[in-house]
Structure 1
Amino acid sequence: MDRESLLHLIESDRNSHIAFLQEVVQAPSPNPPGDTTQVASVISKFLREKNIPFDTLVYKDECPNIVSEFSGAAGTGPRVAMNGHMDVFPVGNDHSGWKHGGPWSGYNDGNAIYGRGTVDMKAGTVASIIAYAYLYSLRDKLKGSIALSVVSDEETGGRHGSRWLLDTSKEQWGGDCMINAEPGGLQSVRFGEKGSLRMTFTIHTKGAHGAYTNLAEGANFMAIRLINELKSVESIRPTDLPPTVHDYLQRPEVRDTINTIMGQGAADNVLVPTLNIGVIHGGLKVNMIPEQCVFQADIRLPIGLKAETVLDHIDTILLSFPDVSYTIQREASNPASFCDANHPLAQTMANMAEEVTGKRPVAIPGLGATDCKFWRYKGIPAFVYGVSPQSMGTENERVLIEEFLSVVKVHAITVLEYLSTR
């Protein structure tokens, strides 16, 4: 089957693809708590109906990982990994702002599918599974092999999902290169992403009654001073970024693409660390000067900047704050990652995306984290091509049906082309 025939087949099956996505969205999988057993059951049913062999690998009972693999019969070639996650952002207790029956409706208004996780990343995961199913049916025509991993625990660190699978068997589930459908926008192929440094700061100082502000500054006011000082981390610049990558990211077409997909100003944030402060806990009563304050900081690290450089900067700041200590949230802290944007798989993906959408995507890094980082940490090139991130994690999160189907097509014909020509 050639590409044109496969694209025609995918289009003719569009109603079944939409129905499968709706069924996946209707299976709640918020993380936390991270229980993906319902959605795993839906995906397992799909694979069984397609007579595709698969296994369920479990590190934690409520966090199953569905895996499948096959070898092509047309000769030796590279091993392509396809990966997506089942867990999604939590939704909270108030669903009154959701249209169409709440966050798990999977409602189809003819233009979009609604529900939590449609964008991040059930549409992408379903697209990869569907593409894999088509490729499995064409295995006699393919060289090399394909490994599919549909995982849990992406939203909270990957300890029970992708990271565990790769630590258990890099050769089996890592492959020679990886394709992922996280929300990235049809205008881009993402070859890297920022890292994260998640920290908890604790201030212990002298407290007092609120009427006696002469006796103590108070932990909360000290936290305000410290947070203002911590903003200076955003002045640090990468020291280990290859000049060719730096220059590439300054190109007008690259900056325009980043700003279009991620919002105006995003291109300015790609090469700088950014600081976000989480909920501050300090004090029991308004008429008391609190003696303790705790807050969390989320620092996003651009490619080329190591966490140690930022921590050295913070340690210098804290010389003026002897009452402050911090801990690093290791599970939520990961280095930035990137790979060669000109890798043959990335080029093939760009070619196929242009064929499907009429517009050639631009290679860019992302601001948010994906499981691709675990492949890149092990030296395996990993690339993202997925739906628009617009509405991700919001009330009435929704994915455009045509974008979803475009991702199905691009992933399927990318791997078909890559494993037919290598």
Structure 2
Amino acid sequence: MTSLEATLLAEIDAARDELIAFFQGFTRIATPNPPGETREAASFLGAFLDARGLPYQVIAPVPEWPNIVADHRFDRPGRHLVLNGHIDVFPAGDPARWRHGSPWSGAIDDGRLYGRGTADMKCGTSASFIAYALLARHRDRLKGRLTLTAVSDEETGGRWGTGYLFANHPDLVMGDCCLNGEPSSAYTVRYGEKAPLWLVFTARARGAHGAYVHLSESATKIATALIDRLEAVTAIKPEMPDKVARNLADPSVRQALETGLGAGAADTVAAVTLNIGMVEGGLKTNMIPSECRVEADIRLPVGVPKARVWAMVREIMQDFPTVTVEEQSLPEEEGANWCDPEGEMLRIIQDRATRIAGITPAPVITLAATDARFWRNAGVPAYIYGCAFDLVGTYDESVALEEFLNVVRVHTLSAAAYLGGE
């Protein structure tokens, strides 16, 4: 362990209560997307940087969805590391189903901090801000450049968040490597991820009185038949690069996936999956629906480009002439993304995690999409290490305080090592 690493760990331990309070305060600000209103939370994060004399920019192509970018150049030349997190979170659902009476309580109960978005990803975003502030304090012991990005449009695709920054401010965000704190569990470090193909199908029919079924087809029945046929996409087999195939076949990697992401994850990560996220149709029980909307979430593993799935979807739709389809995901993204499963930053993360948490995270491709894909698609390695994933999107989403502090420690020390900390 370098002297800088020892100093950083001591500073994190000394500021434990302050760091938890920052995470808690961030959690207490509602940022569900949709609708995506994050201005109060962005101001909270900006105040954290202001209090430490750290300058930053607010870049807001959509006023309600501001992005925060802070950039620090150290005195000595070196590499450029980008820390990335998001401010927006999933919708919270019925407040009455949250044990502390609110999805934004930030309550601490039995060593866990509760609230929507704690795991995905206010834990990781908080860790990025803390790591950035700690490293800026030791600027004389580091080399290169460190950029912090916190965006407000991750949950709905990134077009006005990280995607916008790449398109309009590439000098700020491209970097030589990206470190992201999305959920991964202590057992895995993510070097790639499946790609989302989000399709919206609209089935149409004449419609009629519900008793006069001889006059019109039912748009909901057409949609139901289409959903059944779409299941065929899950039979598409990937043609993976050898390096990825070897990694995912490794028994230790499969075990880490099962431990970190739940039983069945090791097979799911290499398969095309189909989730019918929403079905909306009809106006009244005794009316034959004239329209039905189906939103499908298809996830593509490495080795299955979008074109293969689109070809099958178009073939299926030949049997459904009254159905139209449009893509909601970013059409320019062609498929799953990955970087080197043996890359330098990955090894750095593994080493620091092993020393700090006593667990060596296995390199994995993972199931859910993140903004790390923007870096990988640009040819920049991007790695993810964060808290456990199992409570993401559920009622009573929460993160153990010690798990949060572990993410802070691993991110801070990994960033310091990558930037030549002494």
TM-score over 0.5 for the pair: yes
Instruction: Render the CA deviation track for 1:184-236: whole Å, top value 9, x for unaligned.
Output: 11111100111111111122234444344455542222222221111010000
Task: Give me the whole-angstrom Cα distance separating, in 1, the residues matched to 2:220 and 2:341.
Answer: 45
Cα distance change, pair 282–362 in 1 and its aligned pair in 2 (3 A): same
- Listed one character per residue, the Cα deviations across residues 273-307 of structure 1 (whole Å, up to 9, x for unaligned) are 11111332233333333333221111111122111
- Summarize the alignment of residues 16-31 of structure 1 with structure 2, pairs less than 5 Å apart: 16-31=18-33
CA distance in 1, matches of 2:62, 2:221: 42
Alpha-carbon contact 1:198-1:333 (below 8 Å) kept = no
Q: Which residue of the partner structure matches residue 178 of structure 1?
A: 178
Report whether the alignment pairs 1:97 with 2:97. yes
Q: What CA distance in whole angstroms lies between the structure 2 residues aligned with 1:62 and 1:213?
A: 47
- Give me the whole-angstrom Cα distance separating, in 1, the residues matched to 2:37 and 2:192: 28
| TM-score normalised by length of structure 1 | 0.95
Q: Which residue of 2 aligns with 1:161?
A: 161
Q: Which residue of 2 aligns with 1:242?
A: 241
Quote the Cα distance in structure 2 between the aligned partners of 1:291 and 1:40: 43
Q: 1:315 maps to what in 2? A: 314
Contact 1:196 1:333 in 2 (8 A): no
Deviates more, 1:290-299 or 1:301-310: 290-299
User: CA 1:220/1:353 → structure 2, altered by over 3 Å: closer, same or farther?
Assistant: same
Q: Which runs of 5+ in 1 are unaligned?
A: none
Q: Is 1:45 equivalent to 2:47 in the alignment?
A: yes
CA distance in 1, matches of 2:160, 2:248: 34
Give yes or no for the alignment of 1:287 onto 2:289.
no
Task: Write the letter of the residue equivalent to 2:90.
Answer: F
CA distance in 2, matches of 1:398, 1:351: 27
Give the Cα separation in 1 of the matches to 2:203 and 2:194.
29
* 2:58 equivalent in structure 1: 56
Which residue of structure 1 lines up, in the alignment, with residue 381 of structure 2? Answer: 381
Answer yes or no: is the 8 Å Cα contact 2:95–2:101 preserved in 1: no
Report if aligned partners of 1:54, 1:66 keep a CA contact under 8 Å in 2: yes
Given that residues 278 and 296 in structure 2 are in contact (C-alpha distance below 8 angstroms), is that contact kept between their aligned partners in structure 1?
no
| CA distance in 2 between partners of 1:160 and 1:374 (Å) | 13
Let me know the Cα RMSD of the aligned residues: 1.8
C-alpha displacement of 1:38: 1.0
| 1:179 positional shift | 0.1
Counterpart CA distance in 1 for 2:278 and 2:323 is 17
Mapped partners of 1:184, 1:264: distance in 2 = 15
**What is the DSSP-based 3-state SS (H/G/I as helix, E as strand, rest coil) of the residue aligned with 1:21?**
helix
| Displacement of 1:337 | 1.0
CA distance in structure 2 between the partners assigned to 1:25 and 1:207 by the alignment: 46
**Structure 1 residues 107-118: aligned runs within 5 Å:** 107-118=107-118
Distance 1:28 1:371 in 2: 21
Distance apart, 1:406 and its partner CA:
0.4
Q: What's the offset of the Cα at 1:270? A: 0.9
Work out whether 1:363 is the aligned partner of 2:363.
yes
- The residue type equivalent to 1:419 in the other structure is L
Show the counterpart of 1:9.
11
**Corresponding letter in the other structure for 2:266:** A
Distance 1:208 1:67, change over 3 A: closer
> 1:343, 1:328 → 2: CA distance?
33
Determine helix, strand or coil for the equivalent of 1:91: coil
1:383 Cα shift? 0.5
Mapping for residues 320-359 of structure 1, pairs under 5 Å: 320-331=319-330, 334=333, 335-359=335-359
Cα distance in 1 between the residues matched to 2:331 and 2:98: 29
Quick one: distance in 1 between partners of 2:219 and 2:186? Answer: 47
**Helix, strand or coil at the partner of 1:78:** strand
SS in 2 for 1:364: strand
User: Counterpart of 1:311 in structure 2: which amino acid?
Assistant: W
What's 1:255 paired with? Answer: 254
User: For residues 197 and 221 of structure 1, what CA distance do their matches in structure 2 show?
Assistant: 24
Partners of 1:336 and 1:242 lie apart in 2 by 12
Q: Distance in 2 between matches of 1:333 and 1:101?
A: 42
134-143 vs 326-335, greater mean Cα deviation: 326-335
Q: 1:38 to 1:421 in 2, by over 3 A?
A: closer
Worse overlay, 283-292 or 6-15: 283-292
State the AA in 2 paired with 1:278: G
What's the CA shift for 1:4? 2.1
Per-residue CA deviation, residues 97-126 of structure 1 (Å, 9 max, x unaligned), is 212241111112250111111111111100
- 1:82 corresponding residue in structure 2: 83
In structure 1, C-alpha distance between the alignment counterparts of 2:155 and 2:409, rounded to whole Å = 26
Q: Is the 8 A contact 2:262 2:390 kept in 1?
A: no
Q: Distance in 1 between matches of 2:156 and 2:331?
A: 7
Comparing 308-317 with 102-111, which one deviates more in the overlay?
A: 102-111
Q: Name the CA distance, whole Å, in 1 between partners of 2:219 and 2:68.
A: 48
Structure 2 stretches lacking a partner, 5+ long: none
Counterpart secondary structure, 2:238: coil
Same amino acid, percent of matched pairs: 42
Cα distance in 2 for partners of 1:81, 1:274 equals 31
- Indicate if the aligned counterparts of 1:219 and 1:292 stay in contact, CA closer than 8 A: yes
Residues 198 and 332, structure 1, Cα contact 8 Å, conserved in 2:
no
Q: Which whole-Å deviations, capped at 9, do the CAs of 1:148-174 have from their partners, x for residues lacking one?
A: 111111111112211111111223212
